[in-house]
Amino acid sequence: GQNIDQPTEMTATEGAIVQINCTYQTSGFNGLFWYQQHAGEAPTFLSYNVLDGLEEKGRFSSFLSRSKGYSYLLLKELQMKDSASYLCAVLDSNYQLIWGAGTKLIIKP
């Protein structure tokens, strides 16, 4: 079966750095997405990785290792507004999106 694993919940301190991991086992691979979802709001696109390596976008970076079936989302200089759920999703060989259950990130002052 296809599976995406990510931690259920993480806590970090304002101003610090946090890394949210995502591991996947899927039928093929056509890219990995990260979405951010604030409570009561729509998920919004953060990043897309299809090649190995690190993609940086401001305070957020996303890393992919296809050989290890592994990705992480790195958030720097954490702000209170970063408190949200972070969803990892993989596009499989049939271009179906396989979703993780999401990681709830709690930022403390």
Partner 1 sequence: ETGVTQTPRHLVMGMTNKKSLKCEQHLGHNAMYWYKQSAKKPLELMFVYNFKEQTENNSVPSRFSPECPNSSHLFLHLHTLQPEDSALYLCASSQGGDAGELFFGEGSRLTVL
Site residues (CB under 8 A) for partner 1?
A: 4, 8, 33, 35, 40-45, 48, 87, 89, 91, 95-102
Closest to partner 1 by CB, 35 vs 86, is 35
What is the token pair recorded at 54?
């690190």
Beta carbon of residue 103, minimum distance to partner 1 (angstroms, whole number): 11
Taking CA atoms, 41 is separated from 56, 92, 96, 101, 107, in Å, by 24, 26, 23, 16, 18
Closest to partner 1 by CB, 29 vs 99, is 99
Beta carbon of residue 37, minimum distance to partner 1 (angstroms, whole number): 8
Beta carbon of residue 108, minimum distance to partner 1 (angstroms, whole number): 21
Give CA–CA dist 81/44, Å, rounded: 14
Contact 26, 98 (CB under 8 A): yes
What is the token pair recorded at 33?
């997405």
Closest to partner 1 by CB, 34 vs 63, is 34
Q: Using only C-alpha atoms, what is the Rg of the chain?
A: 13
Beta carbon of residue 101, minimum distance to partner 1 (angstroms, whole number): 5
